[in-house]
Amino acid sequence: MRVAFYAPMKSPNHPVPSGDRLMARLLIRALELGGHKVDIASEFRTHASTPEAAAAVEPAIRAELERLRLTWKSAPRPELWFCYHPYYKSPDPLGPAISAEFSIPYVTAEASYAAKRDRTGWAASQKRVGEAIMQAAVNISFTERDQAGLAAAFPQARLAGLKPFIDTALFEKVSPAPDPRRLMTVAMMRAGDKMDSYVMLAKALRLIEDRPWTLAVIGDGPMRQEVQGLFAGLAGRIEWLGERNAVEIAELLGHGGLYVWPGCGEAYGLAYLEAQAAGLPVVAQETAGVPAVVEAGVTGLLTPDGDVTAYAEAVAALLDDRQRRDAMGQAAGRFVLGQRSLVMAAQVLNGILRDNAGIGVT
């Protein structure tokens, strides 16, 4: 099966790393493991910060549609259009039209729709997202929360679930040598939810300065100075490791004892799966999509949203109880390696495409 893959928010080839880019790449690999030939249909980015900016790209959308039509007049046509993460700021204006013209199935993954955005100037983009969801042979959600949201907005839409997953191969090769007092976090340093999580983490750790912990931070970004400033006064306890590649991250996580990241506004957080794959229990907030990737009380502790004191107490509890922490770390490794691997996801994804869209390997 020839699959045209499209990510309107951020291409899998985008130079800036992020969870969104990682999941796009993982989906491509899952499709390829399922026996499909995947091509990135377009690098065209529809992401717009304002409704006015969204309207301004309409001529470019028409030009890109014409380019695709001309390309497939001579080249082999796709047999499926797979769109990852369409939402009001990044709708898919290409796939629905191409799919209708070529009579091929249209599929979305991680589509989202928020009716409240219609009242803030985004009605045209929202309409495009809603029409794509209804046209899709199947809309794949990564969390029960997201699937329920689509079901409420579009009761007639065809829906399926695929649990968040990672490529566990790197972690299967790691020989953990955990330092029980070494806290780990992996996150970009940028405004918004990421910065909010750093703020909360810094506040929480100041509440447990009496414990013998250190924190290793993997990540970089435009707000590096601001993030480092949050931890001022904790000299000697914070290790700034900067941006690292996947191999280095797996190795570094294997030397940690506990993964700490509040996860403000996290869609789900692939970094949580990576940490658990390395044998680290997690302390996060019970918010948004985080419960989809952390088994509360089994592979980590989830605390009430926004409660800094509860978060600090959860970190302290696992620092103080090595036996419990070790047991959770072992459970975390079993959970991800056994249930959330790329290989398993490829099998589930193929089944979804077969059962919901009649799409098999050709």
Render pLDDT for 176-215 as a digit per residue (tens, 0 to 9): 778 999 999 999 999 999 999 999 999 999 999 999 999 9
Helices (H), the chain: 19-33, 51-56, 58-74, 95-102, 123-135, 144-153, 169-172, 193-206, 224-230, 246-253, 270-277, 308-320, 322-339, 342-357
Render pLDDT for 46-56 as a digit per residue (tens, 0 to 9): 999 999 999 99
Collapsed DSSP state (helix, strand, coil) of residue 50: coil
Render pLDDT for 249-283 as a digit per residue (tens, 0 to 9): 999 999 999 999 999 988 888 999 999 999 999 99
Average pLDDT (88-109) is 96
Render pLDDT for 102-141 as a digit per residue (tens, 0 to 9): 999 999 999 999 889 989 999 999 999 999 999 999 999 9
- 147: Cα within 13 Å, side-chain hemisphere: 14
Confidence of residue 359 (pLDDT cuts 50, 70, 90): low
Residue 121: CB atoms within 10 A of its CB come to 15
Quote the pLDDT of residue 176.
Answer: 74
* CA separation for the pair 352, 85 (Å, rounded): 17
Largest CA distance in the chain: 69
The type of residue at 204 is A
The pTM score is: 0.91
Whether 41 shows a pLDDT value over 70: the answer reads yes
Q: Is there a contact between 253 and 179 (Cβ–Cβ < 8 Å)?
A: no
Using a pLDDT cut of 70, give the percent of the chain over it: 99
User: Helices then strands (H, E): number in the chain?
Assistant: 14, 12
Confidence of residue 346 (pLDDT cuts 50, 70, 90): very high
For residue 21, CA distances in Å to 8, 24, 141 come to 11, 5, 17
* CA separation for the pair 295, 39 (Å, rounded): 35
CA 17 to chain CA centroid, Å, is: 11
Quote the pLDDT of residue 360.
Answer: 60
Collapsed DSSP state (helix, strand, coil) of residue 201: helix
Quote the pLDDT of residue 74.
Answer: 83
Q: Is there a contact between 7 and 82 (Cβ–Cβ < 8 Å)?
A: no
Whether 362 shows a pLDDT value over 70: the answer reads no
Please give the DSSP secondary-structure letter assigned to residue 271. Answer: H
Whether 361 shows a pLDDT value over 80: the answer reads no
